[in-house]
Structure 1
Amino acid sequence: MPISVLPDHVVAQIAAGEVVERPASVVKELIENALDAGAMTVSVAAAGGGRRLIRVSDDGSGISSQEVELAFARHATSKLRTADDLSHLETLGFRGEALCSIAAVSQVTCLSRSRDETTGVKLVIEGSEVVVRSAVGAPAGTIISVENLFYNVPARLKFLKAESTERRLITQIVMQLAMAFPAVRFSLEHDGREAFRSTGSGSLEDVVVAAYGVDTVTHMLPVDSVGGSIIVRGLTSSPEITRTDRSRIHVFVNGRVVHDSNLTYAITQAYTGILESGQYPTSIVKITLPTEDVDINVHPTKAEVRFRDPSAVFAVTQRAIREAVGGMASPRRENDWPDAGRSLFGSMRARTGGGSTPLLRQNEADDAQPRIVRQAPEPPVMADESTPGRPRTLPVLRVVGQMGARYIVAEGPAGIYLIDQHAAHARVLYGELVDAMESGTLQTTEEIVGTAQVTAAQFRKIEQAAVLLERVGVACEPFGPQTVRVVRAPDILSGVAADDAIGAILDALSHDDPQDKLPRALAHAGAVRTGQVLAMDQMQQLVRLLERTPDPLISPTGTPTLLHLSSDQLSREFGRRGGG
């Protein structure tokens, strides 16, 4: 094939691949243009996960009739003139690629009127070609409709996810931009149904209520720290609410949504000793620094940035989060937990060939008292030899005590074992739940405490997943405005607060494979918490159950359940040789 110059429309389609990855990319670019135009109200409507339609309306400054076609030309922008301007950009957009790229792979209708004109202009573009231009009456501002995304690049359609996933990604970017600009009023509809709405009050807390509900905002702590020219502000959650993924860690740099693994790591590391392994906070972190100290011209989607002094930004961010959570890493004293002696495992069933019986009789649980765990070791925890076909995957362990209200300390024939009580219990509950689902013996409870606050989008997500939830024994119903009640749940959640149960459910439903994630999330929601002091018999029960559980070394979310220090390792650490 001879070398030839590509036609302009082919060049545009190729270039669009860098900017327009999926429907959420279109939404992001159009909203950023609206914000750069000074909009105080931004409305987004999507259909078919954004494939059929994306419409973004704003009340910004609009585009003049003389420039509206130029706005869709490649590298046409009003935001910079020279390369030096890149060092001082205060706008979200600057390349002049977004509108051109969107128009190259979709059918676009632009309706806009600048505040200086009395008549607006309507432009219809298909595959980069203007097919209609007309004068129309219109309010000041801009409405851009993007239809049939990737209609002329069918190969790109194959790489899009399910509609539900694309809807979730659109919702996420709208929420993030609302967090970045809380003084702007945002609304979002999916297929004619409201999914998100912010008040535009200027309060970040109000945006969190709209995004994640009242219960979440009541557990958010203010973040406010300054280090030289670096300012870090925002909100971060107390240890009472956690996630099993990092999806609610949002980082903004000079108002821009960014994805920076180092900054995410700085945030999560600030919770070391506060959150258990595999648990993550909800954090909205806004970093402000001089424009010349950050390079935003790194990635076509502008989602990545480069700092002049990344270590300083990391340090100030981590310190800001640590200051926010304060002294919460301090170990709790035993008398802080007056109910430590109650049965934490009463809802679990013995995993044997016989019937299902509670591990603790109620009178035994009632008589138990909190106790110091530094006591003489109890008899060894033995595996249940009556269970056929279960290979032993842990040695015989003897519980010695508890450390930091987090780890069970046990001794085995080959050394010391530190067992993460939450991860281990979640492993046991997960195995129990999956076995019950597969055998058709799932037992449910109605003992879910209280109700949970949810957003309209969250409630719709629960409604849409009703069949999936029923498979794991969960049923929910509305209980007033933005409130939901758990009517029924698997008995591993007996006594769990509704907001914890709903949080786990929503967490699972936010993943691409909710059917797999749901039992795992419910197991973690029902498991004993880090920070709970356990009595010796409770620790023995948990270790006994873990010993009989398949794959006892890994929690449902993939984190370790225990750490083994062999006798040889201990001897080396103490400088011992042989038997001396």
Structure 2
Amino acid sequence: MSKIKLLDTNTINKIAAGEVVERPSSVVKELVENSIDAGASAITIEIKNGGTTFIRVSDNGKGIERNDIKIAFLSHATSKINDIEDLDNIFSLGFRGEALASIAAVSQIEMITKTHSEEEGTKININGGEIIDFQEWGSVEGTSISVNNLFYNVPARRKFLKKPNIESGYISDIINKIALGHPEVSIKYINNGTTILYTSGNSDLKTVVFSIYGKDNFKKMLDINCKIYEYSLNGLIGKPELSRSNRNYQNLFINGRYIKSNIISNAVEDAYKTRLLTGKFPIYVLNLNIPPSSVDVNVHPTKLEVRFDDEDKIYEFVYNSVLDILNNNILIPEVSIIEEKESRTRSCNVDNIKEEYIQPSIFNNSNLNFQNNKNSIETKKVSNEEDIFFNKSPILKDKTFSKIDQLLNDQKQNNSLKVKEDKEEYISKNLNDNKSDCYSVKNIKEEREPFFNNYKIVGQIFNTYWIVEQNGSIFYIDQHAAHERILFEKYMNNFKNQNIVSQKLLSPEIINISEKEKTILKENKEWLLNFGFEIEIVDKNAAAIKAVPYIFNTPQNSNYFYEILDIISDKNKESVYDTKIHDIATAACKAAVKANDKLSFQETHKMISELLKLENPFNCPHGRPTIIEITKYELEKLFKRIQN
């Protein structure tokens, strides 16, 4: 049996370094964060070979005093906190005092630093944790740290590093995130002698987003700036049309620190729900400022994970802030029918062009067409109820028309009032009647000017898409997607507002529950009863389901009960209704008018009118757009009336 013994200091430092320094990007992150904490307004990062052989971070910060330099490379040496009470009031990005010691233990490091009060700077060289050189050195105010041959003395770690181009990608990603979180700092990133990123440091997040994500993505983002109590949320969120198949473009910062949080990620994605296609995720750059005492950042070695003292409050604030911005903006995708950067070297096949013009033209039968439509162009006085567009033929009344007429003639005042009451109740109950920059008791639809206020229905194409003209743009409305959205909102409001019927079971169903689930059950027993579940705890780890909710003509089972418990545990009670979004969306899809169903102009007017009453008229519940826009400018480019 092996004896227990203490490890030597060198081994301890190398093991500890493995927790902080995972790869070259970890070194860059720690050094850049130290520069920001030092008050730097300009930081330059240089790397070679993916950071495996060379990393240098230079800044114009306060520098380190000569007497503190050697201490700075000792484990748990820091100037940012003094005692345990300071952990509740952390404003700096670093605070543990582990970074410099960990980096020095597994690399060859050189640091040159100078403070404002010193006449000369100081240089120190450390190899594998041992000081090799320490002397005065001429330098400007600030700090420059060079890290060479990372993991040169830990071959087991070095062999697991990726190829230089992959490691460079990791470094680029972390630098982009730091730049997005600190637009007030000018950041210059040089990879193998090539400048990859250079931000101005003018505190304008938009210019940083423009530099990193490009013009096209930047134009599709919305400003968000919300504040209530001690919480504030600011940044940019992407329009629903700007989405990705993963969460790599989601950038979240807490008090300037890049973090990952399921609570906030769920809040943002829930606000986008039914606006995005399945498998798509929103893009955003958000900075949440909260009191340091409300968040624990000392959870993970890399400080990527945090814990909140009131997760429900954080969720509600972020969710309603994002939802409010989405509801108050017109989210119609603008479609470009000509690529802005069209290749000028694209070849054309002249033979094919000539052959195309030989094909029969619609103008060959122009006389016939005009003759057949003679009556349609005669001036005729009609009443408001008469379909002036289809006056040459009677409006057909089939099953499709009766179905949509029945829907569009329904009065939705009760539902609208209920939604408004719910919004007022939330603000007065959860936010204690405190006004904020984002929230208002006013109805959202009253604040947002209708985007169709002087439109003209031009016609229909392919018996599916309606063409609407307004203010120098052409809008195409998908009749199925639009009708589906109307039905979905109606069904969803009915589901939330109805008194759910509870069905008694012939014999109680016994289920196993954990201590955590039992606590949730006790705290929410009355709410579960109103939702239709009658539950009684019968044993230490068992409960009896005596009645279940009867939803959509179907009694629910214990699996649905477990699903609700999980949602209440991780999110909030309102999210329970989202469990039926898919079922409601499917029902709306099946009941909506389909492509090739013929609608009259009168019915289309009604459908557009109902669509405009919704908080989100821009997407069907599956995330497809209901309306797209093509501007007059795009058409004029197509006809060469405007030259690029």
Taking structure 1 as the reference length, what is the TM-score of the superposition? 0.59
Q: 1:109 to 1:371 in 2, by over 3 A?
A: same
Distance in 1, matches of 2:114 and 2:245, equals 46
Match of 1:23 in 2: 24
How far is 1:329 from its partner?
9.1
Alignment-derived partner of residue 175 in structure 2: 174
Measured in 1, the distance between the counterparts of 2:127 and 2:226 equals 49
Preserved CA contact (<8 Å) 2:108 2:128:
yes
Amino acid at match of 2:51: G
Give the alignment's Cα RMSD to 1 decimal: 3.2
Q: Hey, what's the Cα distance between the residues in 1 that align with 2:332 and 2:143? A: 55
Structure 2 CA distance for aligned equivalents of residues 83 and 187 of structure 1: 36
- 1:198-213 correspondence runs (5 A): 198-213=199-214
- Cα shift readout 1:60-82 (whole Å, capped 9, x = no counterpart): 00011111111101110001111
Distance (Å, rounded) in 2 between the aligned partners of 1:331 and 1:371 = 21
Shift of residue 243, structure 1, vs aligned partner: 1.5
Local SS of the residue matching 2:109: strand
Measured after TM superposition, the shift of residue 403 of structure 1 is 4.2
What corresponds to 1:369 in structure 2?
461
Alignment partner of 2:170: what SS?
helix
Structure 1 position 186 matched with structure 2 position 187: yes
What letter corresponds to residue 220 of structure 2 in structure 1?
H
The alpha carbon displacement at 1:372 in A equals 4.9
The residue that corresponds to 1:50 in the other structure is 51
CA-CA distance at 1:272 after TM superposition: 1.2
Contact 1:233 1:286 in 2 (8 A): yes
* Equivalent position of 1:144 in the other structure: 145
CA 1:169 to 1:534, structure 2 compared with 1: closer, same or farther past 3 Å?
farther
Counterparts of 2:189 and 2:290, CA distance in 1: 31
In structure 1, how many angstroms separate the alpha carbons of the residues matched to 2:163 and 2:242? Answer: 29
Q: CA deviation at 1:273?
A: 1.8
**Distance change (3 Å), C-alpha of 1:254 and 1:44:** same
Comparing both structures, which one devotes a greater share of its residues to helix? Answer: 2
How far has the Cα of 1:106 moved from its partner? Answer: 0.8
Render the CA deviation track for 1:90-127: whole Å, top value 9, x for unaligned: 11111000000011111111111111101111111111
The code of the aligned residue for 1:197 comes to: Y
Contact 1:226 1:316 in 2 (8 A): no
Q: CA contact under 8 A between 2:278 and 2:623: conserved in structure 1? A: no
Amino acid paired to 2:35: A
Q: 1:406 deviation in Å?
A: 8.0
Q: Matches of residues 516-535 of structure 1 in structure 2 within 5 Å? A: 535=595
The 8 Å contact of residues 42 and 186 in structure 2, kept in 1 or not, is answered as: yes
Check whether the contact 2:277–2:623 (CA below 8 A) recurs between aligned residues: no
Residue of structure 2 equivalent to 1:265: 266
- Rounded Cα–Cα distance in structure 2 between residues aligned with 1:46 and 1:406: 53
CA contact (8 A) 1:231 1:289 kept: yes
Change (3 A) 1:368 1:218: closer
Instruction: Indicate the residue corresponding to 1:222 in structure 2.
Output: 223
| 2:282 partner SS | coil
Partner SS, residue 68 of structure 2: coil
SS at structure 2 position matched to 1:66: helix
Q: Distance in 2 between matches of 1:233 and 1:27?
A: 26
The aligned residue for residue 157 of structure 1 is 158
Conserved 8 A contact 2:111-2:123: yes
Measure the CA separation in 1 of the matches of 2:361 and 2:226. Answer: 52
Give, as a single letter, the amino acid of the residue that structure 2 aligns with 1:371: N
Q: Report the Cα offset of residue 158 of structure 1.
A: 3.2
Following superposition of structure 1 onto structure 2, how do residues 81-96 of structure 1 map, counting pairs within 5 Å? 81-96=82-97
SS in 1 for 2:69: coil
Does the residue aligned with 2:208 lie in a helix, a strand or coil? helix
Contact residue 331 and residue 404 of structure 1 kept, 8 A: no
Is the counterpart of residue 248 in structure 1 residue 249 in structure 2?
A: yes
Q: Give the corresponding residue for 2:35.
A: 34
Q: Deviation at 1:291?
A: 1.0
| Amino acid aligned to 1:250 | N
Structure with bigger gyration radius: 2
- The DSSP-based 3-state class of the residue aligned with 2:232 is strand
**How many angstroms does 1:205 deviate by?**
0.3
Distance 1:402 1:13, change over 3 A: same
Contact 1:274 / 1:329 at 8 angstroms: preserved in 2? no
- Corresponding residue SS for 2:26: helix
Q: Deviations over 1:342-392 (max 9, x none)?
A: xxxxxxxxxxxxxxxxxxx9999xx98242589xxxxxxxxxxxxxxxxxx
Q: What residue number does 1:10 align with?
A: 11
Map residues 482-493 of structure 1 onto 2, 5 A cutoff: none
Q: For 1:18 and 1:363, how far apart are their aligned partners in 2?
A: 72
Q: Indicate the residue corresponding to 1:519 in structure 2.
A: none
Are 2:239 and 2:331, in contact at CA under 8 Å, matched by a contact in 1? Answer: no
Give unpaired runs (5+ residues) of structure 2: 338-358, 363-458, 467-478, 488-592, 598-621, 625-644
> TM-score normalized by structure 2?
0.53
Change (3 A) 1:238 1:100: same
- Match of residue 308 from structure 2: 307
- Equivalent position of 1:106 in the other structure: 107
Aligned residue runs from structure 1 range 243-392, under 5 A: 243-326=244-327, 369-372=461-464
For 2:181 and 2:189, the matched residues in 1 are separated by 16
**Contact (CA 8 Å) 1:73, 1:100: kept in 2 or not?**
yes
Cα contact 1:274–1:328 (8 A) shared by 2: no
Q: CA deviation at 1:227?
A: 3.5
How far 1:270 moved relative to its partner?
1.3
Question: Partner of 1:506 in structure 2?
Answer: none
Amino acid paired to 1:69: K
The whole-number CA distance in structure 2 between the counterparts of 1:58 and 1:370 is 62
Structure 2 counterpart of 1:278, which letter? G
The answer on whether the counterparts of 1:373 and 1:536 sit within 8 Å (CA) in structure 2 is no
The CA distance in 2 between the partners of 1:7 and 1:175, in whole Å, is: 39
1:47/1:53 contact within 8 Å kept? yes
Could you list the runs of 5+ residues in structure 1 that have no partner in the other structure? 340-360, 375-400, 410-532, 538-559, 563-580
Report the counterpart of residue 68 of structure 1 in structure 2. Answer: 69
Which residue is 2:240 aligned to? Answer: 239
Q: Which amino acid aligns with 1:3?
A: I
**SS state at 2:151 partner:** coil
Deviation string 1:163-192 (CA, Å, 9 cap, x unpaired) is: 222212211111111111111100101111
Q: Distance in 2 between matches of 1:267 and 1:95?
A: 31
Q: Distance in 1 between matches of 2:310 and 2:480?
A: 43
Contact 1:182 1:204 in 2 (8 A): yes
Q: Residues 273 and 329 of structure 1 are in contact (CA less than 8 Å); yes or no, is this contact kept in structure 2?
A: no
Change over 3 Å in CA distance of 1:405–1:130 after alignment to 2: farther
Q: Which amino acid aligns with 1:282?
A: I
| Contact 1:225 1:316 survives alignment (8 Å) | no
Aligned counterparts of 2:221 and 2:153: Cα–Cα separation in 1: 46
Shift of 1:261: 2.2
Cα offsets for 1:226-266 (capped at 9, x unmatched)? 23322111101112322221111100001111011221222
Aligned to 1:46, the other structure's residue is in SS state strand
Distance 1:41 1:331, change over 3 A: closer
User: How far did 1:402 drift?
Assistant: 3.6
